[in-house]
């Protein structure tokens, strides 16, 4: 049981680290959650049996690094939809000002 949880925890922590450092950082949340759950279960199992806890520490370390990278990328990356909306608004303002200029020139 413990070995299976260690393998699942390491695998999901490594997958989360790879995904969080790539452009698919939004998909890294599920492996981070799986790694944390496996780490917590391993922590409770290891309290009953005194064994080496280095593997649990590595799972938590990788999961925390992945979570940090994912949060950083979510905060710093600007969505492109806002920029396109601003460009569309600027174009509509320009077209309105052009039509006003044409009306003024038509009166002159």
Range scoring the smallest mean pLDDT among 3-7, 20-24, 43-47, 89-93 = 89-93
Model pLDDT for residues 57-82, shown as the tens digit of each residue: 999 999 999 999 999 998 887 766 65
**Taking Cα atoms as reference points, which of 41, 18, 22, 42 lies closest to residue 31?**
18
User: Domain-by-domain residue ranges, the chain?
Assistant: 2-77, 79-108
Label residue 31 exposed, middle or buried (CB < 10 Å: 0-12, 13-18, 19+): buried
Q: What is the pTM of this model?
A: 0.69
Query: What share of the chain in percent tops pLDDT 90?
Result: 45
d(Cα 102, Cα 26) in Å, to the nearest integer? Answer: 48
């Amino acid at each position: 049981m413990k070995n299976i949880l260690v393998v699942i925890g390491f695998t999901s922590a490594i997958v989360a680290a790879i995904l969080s450092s790539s452009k698919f950082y939004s998909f890294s949340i599920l492996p981070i959650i799986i790694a944390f759950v496996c780490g917590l279960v391993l922590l409770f199992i290891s309290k009953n049996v005194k064994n080496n806890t280095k593997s649990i520490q590595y799972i938590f370390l990788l999961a925390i690094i992945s979570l940090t990278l994912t949060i950083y990328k979510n905060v710093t990356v600007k969505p492109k939809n806002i920029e396109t909306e601003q460009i569309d608004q600027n174009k509509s303002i320009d077209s309105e000002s052009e039509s006003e200029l044409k009306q003024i020139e038509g009166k002159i």
